[in-house]
Structures are given as C-alpha cells and as structure tokens.
Structure 1
Amino acid sequence: MKAIKKLATVMAATAMVAGLLVTPATASASSSQALGCQAFSARALLYWGTAVRTFTCSGTYNGPFSQAKRFRAGGWSGYLETNIGTPLFCDGDDFALNNYTVYRVVLYATKASWC
C-alpha cells in the first residue's frame, strides 16, 4: 500500500512539472492561457546603448538599461518603468525610447487588460 501511495505521489508531481514546462510555441499574450515562456520568434527586444536584450519568458526584469533606443513587444504585453513614465505595450507594439533609462521590463503571462 505504501508503494502505491508513493508511486501516485511521484506520478502527480511529474505530471505537474510536465504541465509547467509545456507551453505553446506559437502562442502570444493574447491567448487566455498563461504563458511561462514563448518561442524565440515571439521574443520581446529592448535595444539600449550598443546592446540588445532579449526576453522570452514572462516576469519582471530589472535594469537599469541606459540609453534605451527602441522596444519591440513581440508576442507580449506588459509595461516598462522608465525615467519619464510607464509606457504600456501590447502584442506587436514597436516604439522608440529616445535614450530613456529603462529601470524595469514587465512581461505579463496573459494578455494585459488594456490590450
């Protein structure tokens, strides 16, 4: 009986981990399903200084990213915290940042309410 309980626990834990790791490769933040990470083709890009930062997973990314030039949302929605305000973005948005400093990039796991 103990062995059956242990096996059931291990199987449940394995199923839970598998469920967390499997995400749609072509999904975007517009889907109703929460996204952990997306395919590289759906990445968000932040061009700053002479570098490019790539984001493929939902979450909060802290800077500072000085002299930010451009942000491309890819398949994500969320917001940026900058030295001049908090621009909101939705899937596919692409906008100039005019050398602002970006302190934080927040990518939502689901579509933002303003999109």
Structure 2
Amino acid sequence: MKKLRTSLTALAVTAASLTLTAPPATAHAATEMGCQTSRAVLDFRDNTTGRYYCSGVHAVGKRADYFTANHWSGWLDTSTGDILFCDGERFSMLGVHVYNLVLNETRAGWCL
C-alpha cells in the first residue's frame, strides 16, 4: 500500500499510464468503462459491504475498515490522502473515510 499526498487531479495529470482522469469534485455515480466478474470490496465501519465490479469512479462517502482489490488496480481517495493499490492487495483501513474509489480499466502503471 502506498500513500500519496497529492490531489487526484495532480495524480491523473502526472501519471501518464492511467486510463482514467481525475474524478469530478461532485461525482455521484460510477462512470463505467469495463466490468469483470472479479470485484473490489470495501468492508465498512457500519458492518455493510461495498462490491465494485466495473472500472470508473465510484462515490463512496463512508468509513471503511478493510479493502480487497482482487483483480483490480486503482486508488482510494480518503481523508488521509490517496491510497494506491494493485491487483491482489488486501489491507486494513481502520475507519478511514473513503470519498471515492477509482478502478482502472487496465493495470495501473505503478503496479509491477
């Protein structure tokens, strides 16, 4: 797990390998560009679960305890900064507020 303190806009502009641009400040729904049977999963503090099957920007607006990427790469826009993730990662978030989840259509350039 890598954290960046840059804004989503700066990240989208400087990371030439991304297939997504920065999400609009008022994103309310996902803009789907590709879907798969594998899902990214957020386990929320309120004992609910978010499952995301399609690439794009997903407005979340909740506190999360765990994240599982499965076959996705992308980033989480959170109250503690952006968290980049790659396929197969699972990590604890301990109640961090997640504003947006961004799932790349293709593997992110920062993933080896």
If the length of structure 1 is used for normalisation, what is the TM-score? 0.66
| Counterpart-to-counterpart distance in 1, 2:87 and 2:58 | 18
Structure 1 regions of 5+ residues with no counterpart? Answer: 1-34
| Counterpart-to-counterpart distance in 2, 1:113 and 1:63 | 24
CA RMSD of aligned residues (A): 1.0
Aligned residues: 78
Match of 1:81 in 2: 77
Higher relative contact order (CA 8 A, sep 6+): 2
SS in 2 for 1:111: coil
What is the CA deviation profile of residues 14-36 of structure 1, one whole-angstrom value per residue up to 9, with x for unaligned ones?
Answer: xxxxxxxxxxxxxxxxxxxxx71
| Counterpart-to-counterpart distance in 1, 2:91 and 2:56 | 20
1:65-104 matches, within 5 Å, as 65-66=62-63, 68-104=64-100
| Counterpart-to-counterpart distance in 2, 1:82 and 1:53 | 15
Deviation, structure 1 residue 79: 0.1
Percent identity of the aligned residues? 41
Structure 2 regions of 5+ residues with no counterpart? Answer: 1-32
Deviation, structure 1 residue 65: 1.4
Give 1 or 2: higher strand fraction: 2
What is the CA deviation profile of residues 56-99 of structure 1, one whole-angstrom value per residue up to 9, with x for unaligned ones?
Answer: 00010012012x10000011000001101111000000000010
| Counterpart-to-counterpart distance in 2, 1:69 and 1:50 | 9
1:107 paired with 2:85, answer no
Q: Which has the larger radius of gyration?
A: 1
If the length of structure 2 is used for normalisation, what is the TM-score? 0.67
